[in-house]
Structure 1
Amino acid sequence: MTGCCFLFAGTYTRKMAHVNGRAAGIYVYSWDPATAGIKPVHTATGIVNPSFLAVHPGLPVLYAVSETDDYDDKCNGAVAAFAVNPVNGSLRLLNMRQSFGSGPCHVSIGKKGDVLALANYGSGSIA
């Protein structure tokens, strides 16, 4: 897939008060700038409501919130890190941790990639 790049789409996989989620997870598409063609190449499943995504500035890592309030049987959401295969765009789960609040809705990575900030909509908190 030389010359292409990857596009990542976060989705809702579970019904919530504001959305009737029915997607499978994180969708990965290849984009060829020479032809402007977009095609699906991978779907990462196993994460609930990966509604917001952020790419690490220097590593092939994608972060995703898990917009829920029941991660690990606690009143928390979660954030996950995925390794991005630079050849085919496939995602491999590296780890998942609680968001220390419910309904995480935004994740951001610092310029140097050494800080991750997370906003929890449900609990009105940051981590």
Structure 2
Amino acid sequence: MTMNQLQKALHEKEKGKKSDRTLMFPGGKGRHLTADEVIAQKLALEEAKQKEEVEKAAKKTRKEVKKAEKAEIEERWKKMLAVHATAVEAWEVQRGRLREAGTRAKDLPMKPRRPLKLKPKPADGVSDNDDNKSGSDEEE
């Protein structure tokens, strides 16, 4: 473990988690549970928990969508590499025939270029890096 991890673990152990009870009764002082402030605070805590659960579910779905998109891109990438490999083989055969026929090296066709790997599209219009604003490398 690194020093930062040890410090974080020690801090968490000393600090501890705050439960609803510690939030409801700050400083350990008693409150009337029928008071308007206590009821409002309890509702706020419940709303915060519900909001957290909704955000957690949304994050899970975004993660699944991103994972599926990456798998699809990887599949397309493998297909593109297979097509490129066959094009290179055909080029080598053609080059061999032209060399046997006496064609000069500078007159031979160029080797087919390897395609660029596709990148996943940024979700919700927010991108981690703004380098690929054009998006031209995502379409075929």
Tell whether the structures are fold-level matches, with TM greater than 0.5: no
Structure with bigger helix share is 2
Give the TM-score category using the shorter length: under 0.3
Normalising to structure 1: TM-score of the pair?
A: 0.20
Q: TM-score, normalised by structure 2?
A: 0.19
